[in-house]
Structure 1
Amino acid sequence: MTEKNPDPTHIRLAKRVAEQLNCSRSTAEQFVEGGFVSVDGQVVEAPGARVRPDQTVTVAQDASLLELTPVTLLLHKPAGFEAGLGQPAPGGSAPHRSQASRSQGATPATSLLEIASHLAEDASGIRVLQRHFKQLECFTPLPTEASGLVVYTQDKRIARKLAEDIESLEQECIVEVQGDIAPNGLQRLCHGLSFNGRALPPIKVSWQSETKLRFALKGIRPGQIPAMCDAVGLTVVALKRIRIGRVPLSKVPEGQWRYLQPWEKF
């Protein structure tokens, strides 16, 4: 419906809606982006789409600007995808790499945020709209080699909460390791190690299986978990973040995402 050299008889969908509803152009654009407008029976979410005079434009009877609230998406990032470039993250490498080295060979995790990868069992009841994938911010980065929970939000309140409180929010990670742990290694992981010349505070560390450790800690620094494991004779094979604050990854499969529900708080 969009053209570089549009037919003068074709007009922008938002303009058509504004004329039909006798409302402002901005209000019409919000109705379109809210998924309330159909052209010949098909929902169109692009205000700039052009329509012909003979096409039927319908605005849903339940159209409301009250539903156009910002959303927060919880993604299960697979290893090999970049999320939150240049920001501190659990188990990450140096956060201040050049843009060229950061982008080489890795796909942005935002490429996974699309309708097709939405969790089918999402209990939020929110209708998926194209506008939900715009103006997203990430304050919960993960290194490319790690997997797990990454948060993308349009909500300024949540963005501010994560930006200001990420140091005090407990993060839970499952870390697959190999090697033989040193004597009293688990106790040392919990308390007694240092990182970058500073003694680490007490940390919750426990075995989940013969090869997997569970870490629950605050104020995590890039590279901290691999360095801790190395100090007790273990090598990190894989790292997966499963919780940030009180919000869990839950049963979201790798590469899929769900909406943060209204009652969930970090």
Structure 2
Amino acid sequence: MTEKNPEAGHVRLAKRVAEQLDCSRSTAEQFIEGGFVSVDGAVVEAPGARVAPHQSVAVDPEASLLDMTPVTLLLHKPPGFEAGLGAPGQAGAAHGSRSQGARPALALLHRDTHLAEDAAGIRVLQRHFRQLECFTPLPTEGSGLVVYTQDRRIARKLAEDIESLEQECIVEVAGEIAANGLQRLCHGLSFNGRPLPPIKVSWQNETRLRFALKGIRPGQIPAMCEAVGLRVVGMKRIRIGRVPLAKVPEGQWRYLQPWERF
């Protein structure tokens, strides 16, 4: 005698929801991925999950596809992770180059690394980690703010305006700065044979410099520091345009709030 198939009668959750709501499968999948569907009281976000006939499937009465807006995630990338570095010379990279075998920073984006005190108040969903694009690359050895977005408007803004957006970086340095070195960092240096425009540079403490500049190029900050007798030990990007990293611990992320603009 053969055993009965324990999954006999099971159907895809999306099919069950479509039947209950009398809607299309694609609409049912959107409700599920939006976190509006529960099975036996537990939210299930996978449209392909199998449910048995006896299981209770409920759809939140407040469910609305209008709430399923794309999101933007702000990650505090630690050193040792690669974040969106494309071809050499891609705008937005601050220094250094692609490291072979480096772990992708995208792997840090999941439910467990979400900032607990995130003021955005957005419910974390699995769909928020899909179809993310990065237009703010940061070298493997660098740390700080990296932006990942699903929002086409923000993606277009970053892709088109990254050259004109001011980026703020805290740079840890070692060595003895040359005479008039700070003034030369602000204005008077060249990079790749071209004079640099005026840049805002100031001491944050005895070993840290604050840079605020636009159109930053790969290797630019280390080259500037070397020109005045300093060596870069570490660098953290803390702001892009008007959006700060804020108090996000290394390796965690927060949502871009609706009122924030780059």
Q: TM-score range by the shorter chain?
A: over 0.9
Alignment match, 2:47: 47
> Which ranges in structure 2 are unaligned for 5 or more consecutive residues?
none
Q: CA deviation at 1:207?
A: 0.1
SS in 1 for 2:215: coil
Q: CA deviation at 1:89?
A: 3.5
2:224 maps to 1:228: yes
Does structure 2 retain, via aligned residues, the 8 Å contact 1:189–1:228? yes
2:176 maps to 1:176: no
Does structure 2 retain, via aligned residues, the 8 Å contact 1:79–1:144? yes
Distance in 1 (CA, whole Å) between partners of 2:194 and 2:244 is 29
Distance in 1 (CA, whole Å) between partners of 2:259 and 2:153 is 14
SS in 2 for 1:206: strand
Distance in 1 (CA, whole Å) between partners of 2:149 and 2:13 is 28
Q: Which amino acid aligns with 2:115?
A: L
Alignment match, 1:21: 21
SS in 2 for 1:150: strand
SS in 2 for 1:70: coil
2:231 maps to 1:219: no
Alignment match, 1:122: 118
SS in 1 for 2:146: strand
Distance in 1 (CA, whole Å) between partners of 2:94 and 2:181 is 19
SS in 1 for 2:201: strand
Q: Which amino acid aligns with 1:88?
A: A
Alignment match, 2:203: 207
Q: Deviations over 1:164-209 (max 9, x none)?
A: 0000000000000000000000000000000000000000000000
Distance in 1 (CA, whole Å) between partners of 2:49 and 2:59 is 15
SS in 2 for 1:239: strand
SS in 2 for 1:132: helix
Q: Deviations over 1:90-149 (max 9, x none)?
A: 43224xx6xxxx441x11001110111101111111100000000000000100000000
Does structure 1 retain, via aligned residues, the 8 Å contact 2:200–2:211? yes
Q: Which amino acid aligns with 1:214?
A: R
Distance in 1 (CA, whole Å) between partners of 2:193 and 2:83 is 28
Q: Which amino acid aligns with 1:113?
A: L
Does structure 2 retain, via aligned residues, the 8 Å contact 1:177–1:212? yes
Alignment match, 1:132: 128
2:203 maps to 1:196: no
TM-score, with normalisation over the residues of structure 2? 0.95
Q: Which amino acid aligns with 1:186?
A: L
Distance in 1 (CA, whole Å) between partners of 2:139 and 2:124 is 28
Distance in 2 (CA, whole Å) between partners of 1:222 and 1:47 is 43
Distance in 2 (CA, whole Å) between partners of 1:6 and 1:75 is 43
Q: CA deviation at 1:211?
A: 0.1
Does structure 2 retain, via aligned residues, the 8 Å contact 1:146–1:240? yes
Q: Which amino acid aligns with 2:211?
A: F
Q: Deviations over 1:8-50 (max 9, x none)?
A: 5111100000001111111100000000001111110000111
More displaced, 10-19 or 78-87? 78-87
Does structure 2 retain, via aligned residues, the 8 Å contact 1:89–1:143? no
Alignment match, 2:96: 93
Q: CA deviation at 1:81?
A: 0.5
Distance in 2 (CA, whole Å) between partners of 1:212 and 1:261 is 30
2:247 maps to 1:244: no
Q: CA deviation at 1:88?
A: 3.5
Alignment of 1:69-80 (within 5 A): 69-80=69-80
Q: Deviations over 1:66-97 (max 9, x none)?
A: 11000000000001110012233443224xx6
Distance in 2 (CA, whole Å) between partners of 1:209 and 1:55 is 62
Alignment of 1:59-70 (within 5 A): 59-70=59-70
Q: Report how many residues are paired.
A: 255
Distance in 2 (CA, whole Å) between partners of 1:229 and 1:91 is 13
TM-score, with normalisation over the residues of structure 1? 0.93
